Amino acid sequence: MKVTFNGLQREVAHVAELLPGRYFCGIGVCFGCVAEINGVPEVRACRHPLRDGDVIRTTP
Amino acid sequence: MRVVVVGAGPAGMAAARTAADAGAEVVMVDSEPDAGGQYLRGRAKFSHPGVTHLKNTEAWMVEGDVLHLRGPAVLRFDALVVATGAYDRPLPFPGWDGPGVITAGAAQALAKQGITLAGRVIVSGTGPFLLPVATALQDLGATLVGVYEASSPARWLREARAVAANRHKIGELAGYRKVLPRLETRTAVIGKHGDRVTVAKLDSQWRPVSHRTEHADLVCVGYGFLPRTDLLPSASRTDDFLDVDEHQRTSVEHVYAAGEVTGIGGADLAEAEGVVAGAAAAGHKPPANALEAVRRGRLFAGALARAHAVQPGWKSWPHQDTTVCRCEKVRLEDLSDATSMRELKLTSRVALGRCQGRICARNAAELTGVPFDGQRRVIAIPIPLGELADLPEEKS
């Protein structure tokens, strides 16, 4: 999937590859992977099926 | 008669089907896009006459005979079945909050989507669930450096009665024979720095007695499971799992529970509990074969809990500067002397972050010796204030 991650173009199969150290429980419990996805804030990224063109931003 | 089921794993699906077949109007609410829960992950293809399946829907509070959903929306019920499952318990060690450490459940969820994340992997924890995770990773082409089981297999020798009643569970082991040569017992990962992983041999209390270095890119950890009890903060529980009677009734009126939220015993036990709960919730007598399957499965679940109980020696794994609470970056040395969980939270900020203690609260309690009486939150998931403001006003 071709996505934009914090302003950079990335090609990844799963959102876990974008969030090392933050993707942890994988099932929406730990909230480590919370990110803004396509303008929606506070999304648990692990529960989001990645699609081409997705824009993902992690808050500092 | 309306039965609402929360969770669409093996227990929830069985409860929904059984209640519908008994004539109830059934709504099954689930947070995922497809039924199946973590066990079947979208491979369940659920469809049943009389059951409305609300997908991608999170429930956040039970109030009397009403279930609150994100949206906001409310569902009134005559009986509620909570089948929300459980999640992996991690134990903290130096490096567990860095890259390349995920839970065994996360590894399993990724593997079911065909993804391994790394070439060289280690699975470390306790319980038979480690074996399917290791098998799935190996089947996808990962190099399995080791499967480390912290407990001693000798503990199962005391559980002959439970094993004899559940012989099919032994048969399941055959499916994992490819990873058995990589299995080491009384062993655990107690540190990770880059790809250097510290692997310790443990004594019976899980205190390290010797260690060595292995190289791996990914460590998958799971020291048993913690139940998702959020919807029932006041329900009676044992070791944080919901207490249920022989008809799967919880201590909360009109509320039943089924599956791993009541104890860990595998998908077949979860399904049998779902059948019992679904029938009872719809006001019918549960079928005798399901009651018998629950009785047998509970024997196994009890043996599993005893044989793979977390031993206190893990408390020597984290160093003073090791993170205990990932959300609020609270280190072991930041934990204060406290006499209660509440005091511990307010003085150290442990368990006050986004996960609300789901990952760290139990570990923090054990590290400091404060009593852990289970996780009790009024609201089950974080919801925007705007959504609360949109709730219809109460009619007086």
Q: How much is the pLDDT for B393?
A: 65
Q: Are B11 and B83 in contact (CB under 8 A)?
A: yes
pLDDT tens-digit series, residues B83-129 = 999 999 999 999 999 999 999 999 999 999 999 998 999 999 999 99
The answer, for A2 touching chain B at a CB cutoff of 8 Å, is no
Give tens-digit pLDDT for B368-386. 999 987 778 878 887 878 8
**What pLDDT, on a 0 to 100 scale, did the predictor assign at position B279?**
98
Whether the pLDDT of residue B394 is over 70: the answer is: no
Angle, vertex CA B263, rays to CA B283 and CA B115, nearest 5: 110
Give yes or no for a contact between B221 and B125, defined as CB atoms under 8 angstroms apart: yes
Q: Kindly tell me if the per-residue pLDDT of B163 is higher than 90.
A: no
Mutating which of A31, A33, A36 best tests the B interface, going by the most B Cβ atoms within 10 A? A31
Closest CA to B28 of B51, B60, B10: B51
Q: Is residue B294 scored above 90 in pLDDT?
A: yes
Q: Look up the pTM and report it.
A: 0.94
- What are the angstrom distances between the C-alpha of B187 and each of B16, B123, B178? 41, 11, 19
Cβ <8 Å between B115 and A13? yes
Contact B35, B52 (CB under 8 A): no
- CA pair distance B199, A20, nearest whole angstrom: 22
pLDDT of residue B395: 52
pLDDT in tens, B182-218: 999 999 999 999 999 999 999 999 999 999 999 999 9
The β-bridge partners of B151 are: none
pLDDT at B211: 96
Copy the structure tokens of residue B114: 């065909």
Residue in B41, B103, B133 to test binding to A, most A beta-carbons within 10 Å: B103
Residue B219: its H or E element = strand B218-223
Cβ–Cβ < 8 Å for B68, B60: yes
Output b/e per residue, B198-210; b: 16+ Cβ within 10 A: bbbebeeebebee
Q: CA-CA-CA-CA torsion for B220, B223, B224, B228, nearest 10 degrees?
A: -80
Which whole number is the average pLDDT over B153-173?
A: 84
Average pLDDT over residues A25-52: 94
Residue of A nearest to B356 (CA): A30
Determine contact, residues B263/B298, Cβ cutoff 8 Å: yes
pLDDT of res. B388 = 80
Say how far apart CA B393 and CA B396 lie, in whole Å: 9
pLDDT of residue B170 exceeding 50, the answer is yes
Nearest to B355 among A23, A26, A30 (CB): A30
Q: Strands B225-227 and B86-88: what pairing?
A: antiparallel
DSSP annotation of B117? S
Q: What pLDDT sits at residue B180? A: 92
Q: Is A6's pLDDT higher than 70?
A: yes
Q: Work out the mean pLDDT of chain B and round it to a whole number.
A: 94
pLDDT on residue B389: 82
Contact residues on chain A for B110, CB-CB shorter than 8 A: 14, 16, 26
Q: Which residue has the tokens 């996805």?
A: A37
Mutate to test the interface with A, among B38, B140, B219, B359 (most CBs of A within 10 A): B359
pLDDT band per the 50, 70, 90 thresholds, residue A60: low
Give the pLDDT mean for B332-348. Answer: 93
Which residue in the block uniquely carries the two structure tokens 């368990």? B351
Residue A2, CA distances (Å) to A22, A50, B20 in order: 20, 9, 43
**Interchain pair B97, A21: CB under 8 A:** yes
pLDDT at A44: 94
Q: What token pair was written down for B333?
A: 């040395």
Q: Cα separation of B336 and B285, whole Å?
A: 51
Residue B80 has pLDDT above 80, yes or no: yes
**Do B228 and B87 touch, CB atoms closer than 8 A?**
yes
Q: pLDDT tens-digit profile of B312-330?
A: 999 999 999 999 999 999 9
pLDDT of B396 higher than 50: no
| Helical H segments across chain B, by residue range | 10-21, 37-40, 104-112, 130-139, 160-164, 167-174, 267-281, 288-307, 341-348, 361-368, 385-389
Nearest to B8, CA basis, from B22, A29, B41: B41
Average pLDDT of chain A, as a whole number = 94
Segment B223-227 shows an average pLDDT of 97
Closest alpha carbon to B206 in B115, B309, B306: B309
